[in-house]
Structure 1
Amino acid sequence: MSQRAAPRTTTGQWVGRIAGPVVAALVYFIPSGLHAIPGMGHRPAAAAAVAAWMALWWFTEAAPMGWTALLPLVLFPALGVFGDGGVLVAVGRSAQPFVDPYIFLFMGGMALGAALEQWGLHRRIALLIMRAIGTGPQRLLFGMLAATAAVSLWISNTATSVMMVPIGMALIAQLEASEGRQLRHFGAALMLAVAYGSNVGGVGTKIGSPTNSVFAGVVSRRFGADVGFVEYMVAALPFVLLFLPLAWAVLWRWGRKDRLGPGQGGDVIARELAQLGPMSSGERVVGGVFLVAAVLWIFGDPLRALLAPPVARAFDGFKLAGKHYEAAVAIVGALVLVAVGRLSFAALRRVPWDTLLLLGGGFALAAGIEASGLSSWLITRLSGLESLHGLAQHAVVASATIVLSAIASNTATVNVMLNVLPASRPLLAVSTFAASCDFALPAGTPPNAIVFGSGYVRLPVMMKAGLLLDVLAAAALTVYGYAWVRWVLP
């Protein structure tokens, strides 16, 4: 049996491996304003050095992202980022973010998503949405966007795009057969709808993308208050609903060049649904558990108020915060599915567990930056941003995040941006949303790369449509952040 060759290390990765520790040493040892913060000694410079090292390795993918996320466990105690208190205390403070409740919320959310995938329920939901929207060319394109985004609200963007690409390919093949010609433009538009729907849909819920959990964790640490499940959806979901029609309009400008007739897309959807057959008992159980979890999240505040007193009595005054409640719902839901045999260990093995390390590393980095005094220093240096008009602030943050996410993963982008921006929940939220809005390059997000491999999407096409959407996303987030987010997340 042949073995798959290991991917070759690129020049950029080699440069990143060397540049990370070198730049960290320069930041730490060269005298600067970081060494002159009263009462902090070398700690701000140490935190900045580790942040620079992690950022360079994340951006260049010099090492697996989960490995890079573990650097604070070693470097923060070694460099005394948390001050005096002993090595064991420093190790404990460095490790604590890796067991943050938001880690468990995302863990449970991924497990629930794995159950949806195991039983094919996510595929059935997507097909039903597409059938309901319609099968004419324009409706079919919007249906692909909407169905993909709806599924991506609850499972990973990558898994969503992997599932939707075969459906899109089957639709294209059927349309080409009925038209008797290759549909180069509409085929590209339909494939890009999968990528863009996956990216935008992931913005809408706290479990839709790792970036959202990073945002919730950073806000919890910097402000001492949780962003509830419904509170997050109220801030984020309207953007998804507003941006999908913009994405459809841009893609239809390209797709309509093939001048399609009514087509036979409905036949493909009907055939795919027929292959799924009647809803199985496994689908019904998984759907029921997922629905119960969603209801418990949505009505979390009143239910948590009822549970808080008995929990405090049972656990010596433990304060049941929103993040504890939401994480418990996710974990219990996943355990129930395992217990009743509706979530297999094979499905769980396919979950990208290294994402949890990435989240923990981001939280650990945030904790070190704050404890060292570096966050206060950064805020003073970014005072120019706070002096701008609110609209301009949102424009700068949205644009900078979108540009950065074009060359780095959205999670790495958020881990860096949220730790250097001023303490403003609306700006942090806008940066989080913007990190999922790079549409121009295959390397921008995994869904972009997946549809690029379909053969229907050429780089000039993706860049032409994607750059326009990048600009529209920056403009839309500027107005949306200023007009909506700053009111619901003051």
Structure 2
Amino acid sequence: MAGTQRRPDPTTRTAASSGRPRYTAGSADGRIISPGFKEPGLPKRTMTIRWAGFAAGLVAALLMFTVLPGSMAPEAKVTAATAALMGIWWMTEAIPIPATALVPLVVFPIFNGVDLSEVGGSYGADTIFLFMGGFLIALSMQKWNLHRRIALFVLRVMGDRTNLMIAGFMISTGFLSMWVSNTATAVLMLPIGLSVLLLVNETMERSGDVGSLAAEGETAADGSKAKSGADAGSTDAGTASTGTADTDTAASDTADTGTAEPDNSSGSSIKSSVLQSKFGTSLMLAIAYSASIGSLGTIIGTPPNTFLVGYLQDNHGISIGFGQWMLVGVPIAVVMMIVAWFLLTQVFFRPEVKRIPGGRKLVEDELAKLGPMSRPEWMVLTVFVLAALSWILIPTIFDPAPISDAGIAMTVGLLLFILPAGAERGVRLLDWDTAVDMPWGVLLLFGGGLALSGQFTSSGLTESIGNAVEGFSGIPIIVLVAVLAFAILFLTEITSNTATAATFIPVVGGVALGIGADPLILTVPVALAATCAFMLPVATPPNAVAFGSGYVTIGQMVKGGFWINMISLVVITLATMTLAVAVFGIVY
């Protein structure tokens, strides 16, 4: 129209100095929108924290290099500065957590004169391949729904008493979490739990006790007395799916390895409102807590365990076998699981109903939906059992073992790619399209942590830390263990568990050498405590899963989680001073 000025497209900006397009995102005139412009922006608060963390990391690194004594080797000062930088960037997520793990590849070759191939070797350490093998087993179980069948089988055995059913959920979740990502495990168990809660609601409606159940129930996070189970399931799945692995802030977890898409087949069928209740709160927290607790049982269960084993092997020549770790980790997990079950069901959130009529039938119906156990499931189960037995028995029978734990993991992983599933022609137990969903960022994070810890030793920083803390030698070891466990337990509530372990294990290893103690005595409690985060939704993806269900408020999570943290402190301290000393042959 004549005389009408066209308003500029707000999605097209130009650089005033050159008149050239600065960027183009519009599509009204047929231009292609770049994928980057389709990404949603981050909240202002998040960006502020990240930019502040970015600057703080650089400032801390500069200060660290400046204030350290001149008598310290320049390489050691560079390593200390790099540790400060990476620690702050990891904790604030100034840049993506796996990207921070790449810093050693840039800094150490330039400033410490270390060959890139030497630094890069840490990213291919055997511990990383051990964890990769665990991922492959987990992905194959998820591909054929074997993990769901195992969970339902345990629940069927436990019956329809509410306390025993919660115990069944914890046993299923804890066992699966020893081998599968705690995020994926929690997401798997969520729709099963929601189905049980729906059944409770229907039972109470039929018996006319809805009012009493609601009266005894807890208020939801939004202040309401009820929340749609289907909505809870979808909220939950959405929350959990953001955690691609087990480094564990809920919004950005790159670490515990949640690679599987949540199975909402049960949760999506829930149409009616499910009343808020102590049983619902107890069940959701039981799933979340047991996912973290169970992962303590094996080396591959949680990234801090794996990182510890790699650190000790690479820097101190100390080897911990898969079976050895289970002798320590499984008893700790069992004790903590029992304590958590007791606190949830007998102290804080005692279920309003003692039995769920039809509870066993519901589980049997879910099992029936899976049909008889398929050939691929049997084959994956066989491979899984073969791997577990090999990890436990080979180092016990042979000395030295003809194949390492990582070698066993890779052998099993290769078998999964080779063996035909028998479902369709050419279909294998595991294919690359499935395997590519592996949380590669976690493996990068391991590599970066191992590269950093390697420089602690080779640059002389570990020795310098040891010399600086020689005065601590008069403090009883049990006090140091308890103080470290306490500090890490509460730090990991707000930071990634893997990043926390990668940052502090090398430092604590140096402290141990300085006071003349075995590195194991101080690093083991740090690794164990890094996984025990029970108080906040942001602490781990499983906690976010429980909170997102609508059955748990932050206050309830803090209430239960604080006391489980305190019990964890006692259990970790005592287990380190007794069980770990006996199994690992620690001398202090």
- TM-score, scaled to structure 2: 0.76
* Partner of residue 63, structure 1: 95
| Contact in 2 for aligned 1:179/1:263 (Cα 8 Å) | no
User: What's the offset of the Cα at 1:90?
Assistant: 2.2
Of 337, 362, 373, 2:416 maps to: 337
* Partner of residue 185, structure 1: 278
Equivalents in 2 of 1:382, 1:280: separation in Å?
59
Of 97, 100, 104, 1:72 maps to: 104
User: What's the offset of the Cα at 1:301?
Assistant: 1.7
| Contact in 2 for aligned 1:405/1:435 (Cα 8 Å) | yes
| Contact in 2 for aligned 1:113/1:156 (Cα 8 Å) | yes
Q: Which amino acid aligns with 1:54?
A: M
* Partner of residue 387, structure 2: 293
Equivalents in 1 of 2:473, 2:546: separation in Å?
39
| Contact in 1 for aligned 2:109/2:116 (Cα 8 Å) | yes
| Contact in 1 for aligned 2:200/2:356 (Cα 8 Å) | no
SS in 2 for 1:356: helix
Counterparts in 2 of 1:215-364, with a 5 A limit? 215-252=308-345, 253-256=347-350, 258-301=352-395, 305=399, 308=402, 325-340=404-419, 341-364=428-451
SS in 2 for 1:441: coil
Q: Which amino acid aligns with 2:177?
A: S
Task: Please tell me whether residue 463 in structure 1 is matched to residue 558 in structure 2.
Answer: yes
Counterparts in 2 of 1:430-445, with a 5 A limit? 430-445=525-540
User: What's the offset of the Cα at 1:329?
Assistant: 1.2
User: What's the offset of the Cα at 1:204?
Assistant: 0.4
User: What's the offset of the Cα at 1:7?
Assistant: 3.6
- Listed one character per residue, the Cα deviations across residues 89-125 of structure 1 (whole Å, up to 9, x for unaligned) are 5212211110101111101110111001111111111
| Contact in 2 for aligned 1:304/1:325 (Cα 8 Å) | no
* Partner of residue 95, structure 1: 120
* Partner of residue 311, structure 1: none
Deviates more, 1:422-431 or 1:234-243: 422-431
* Partner of residue 32, structure 1: 68
* Partner of residue 201, structure 2: 176
Equivalents in 2 of 1:188, 1:339: separation in Å?
44
User: What's the offset of the Cα at 1:350?
Assistant: 2.1
Relative to structure 1, the CA distance from residue 388 to residue 297 in structure 2 (aligned partners, 3 Å threshold; closer, same or farther) is same
Relative to structure 1, the CA distance from residue 452 to residue 36 in structure 2 (aligned partners, 3 Å threshold; closer, same or farther) is same
* Partner of residue 174, structure 2: 149
More helix by share: 1
Provide the alpha-carbon RMSD of the alignment: 1.9
Deviates more, 1:63-72 or 1:374-383: 374-383
Q: Which amino acid aligns with 1:117?
A: Q
Of 257, 279, 292, 1:199 maps to: 292
Of 196, 210, 216, 2:303 maps to: 210
- Listed one character per residue, the Cα deviations across residues 365-407 of structure 1 (whole Å, up to 9, x for unaligned) are 1001111111112223334554322321221121111011112
| Contact in 2 for aligned 1:176/1:183 (Cα 8 Å) | no
| Consecutive unaligned residues in structure 1, runs of 5 or more | 81-86, 309-323
| Contact in 1 for aligned 2:166/2:286 (Cα 8 Å) | yes
Q: Which amino acid aligns with 1:185?
A: K
Equivalents in 2 of 1:407, 1:157: separation in Å?
18
Identity %: 34
Counterparts in 2 of 1:420-435, with a 5 A limit? 420-421=507-508, 422-423=512-513, 424-435=519-530
Q: Which amino acid aligns with 2:479?
A: A
Equivalents in 2 of 1:114, 1:475: separation in Å?
35
Deviates more, 1:369-378 or 1:110-119: 369-378
SS in 1 for 2:531: coil
Relative to structure 1, the CA distance from residue 439 to residue 134 in structure 2 (aligned partners, 3 Å threshold; closer, same or farther) is same
Task: Please tell me whether residue 367 in structure 1 is matched to residue 454 in structure 2.
Answer: yes
Equivalents in 2 of 1:273, 1:386: separation in Å?
57
| Contact in 2 for aligned 1:183/1:258 (Cα 8 Å) | no
Deviates more, 1:338-347 or 1:380-389: 380-389
* Partner of residue 231, structure 2: none
- Listed one character per residue, the Cα deviations across residues 317-369 of structure 1 (whole Å, up to 9, x for unaligned) are xxxxxxx6211111121111112201122321222111000000110010011
| Contact in 2 for aligned 1:175/1:264 (Cα 8 Å) | no
Equivalents in 2 of 1:484, 1:303: separation in Å?
22
* Partner of residue 321, structure 1: none
Equivalents in 1 of 2:472, 2:355: separation in Å?
51
Equivalents in 2 of 1:25, 1:230: separation in Å?
43
| Contact in 2 for aligned 1:430/1:477 (Cα 8 Å) | yes
Equivalents in 2 of 1:190, 1:102: separation in Å?
35
Equivalents in 2 of 1:270, 1:382: separation in Å?
59
Point out the structure with max Rg over C-alpha. Answer: 2
| Contact in 2 for aligned 1:379/1:420 (Cα 8 Å) | no
| Contact in 2 for aligned 1:216/1:226 (Cα 8 Å) | yes
| Contact in 1 for aligned 2:130/2:300 (Cα 8 Å) | yes
| Contact in 1 for aligned 2:160/2:355 (Cα 8 Å) | no
| Contact in 1 for aligned 2:395/2:401 (Cα 8 Å) | no
Counterparts in 2 of 1:383-422, with a 5 A limit? 383-421=470-508, 422=512
Q: Which amino acid aligns with 1:436?
A: T
- Listed one character per residue, the Cα deviations across residues 447-470 of structure 1 (whole Å, up to 9, x for unaligned) are 111221111111100011111111
Equivalents in 1 of 2:528, 2:133: separation in Å?
22
User: What's the offset of the Cα at 1:10?
Assistant: 3.0
Task: Please tell me whether residue 13 in structure 1 is matched to residue 106 in structure 2.
Answer: no
User: What's the offset of the Cα at 1:304?
Assistant: 5.2
Relative to structure 1, the CA distance from residue 470 to residue 307 in structure 2 (aligned partners, 3 Å threshold; closer, same or farther) is closer
Deviates more, 1:386-395 or 1:70-79: 386-395
Equivalents in 1 of 2:574, 2:558: separation in Å?
24
SS in 2 for 1:10: helix
Deviates more, 1:404-413 or 1:259-268: 259-268
SS in 1 for 2:349: helix
SS in 2 for 1:258: coil
User: What's the offset of the Cα at 1:66?
Assistant: 0.6
Of 175, 185, 188, 1:160 maps to: 185
Equivalents in 2 of 1:271, 1:344: separation in Å?
30
Equivalents in 2 of 1:388, 1:259: separation in Å?
50
Relative to structure 1, the CA distance from residue 235 to residue 385 in structure 2 (aligned partners, 3 Å threshold; closer, same or farther) is farther
Equivalents in 1 of 2:356, 2:545: separation in Å?
28
SS in 2 for 1:279: coil
Equivalents in 1 of 2:200, 2:572: separation in Å?
35
Q: Which amino acid aligns with 2:313?
A: S
Equivalents in 1 of 2:362, 2:150: separation in Å?
15
Equivalents in 1 of 2:318, 2:462: separation in Å?
18
Q: Which amino acid aligns with 2:51?
A: W
Q: Which amino acid aligns with 2:569?
A: A
Q: Which amino acid aligns with 1:224?
A: G
* Partner of residue 45, structure 1: 77
| Contact in 1 for aligned 2:343/2:560 (Cα 8 Å) | yes
- TM-score, scaled to structure 1: 0.91
SS in 1 for 2:60: helix
User: What's the offset of the Cα at 1:4?
Assistant: 5.4
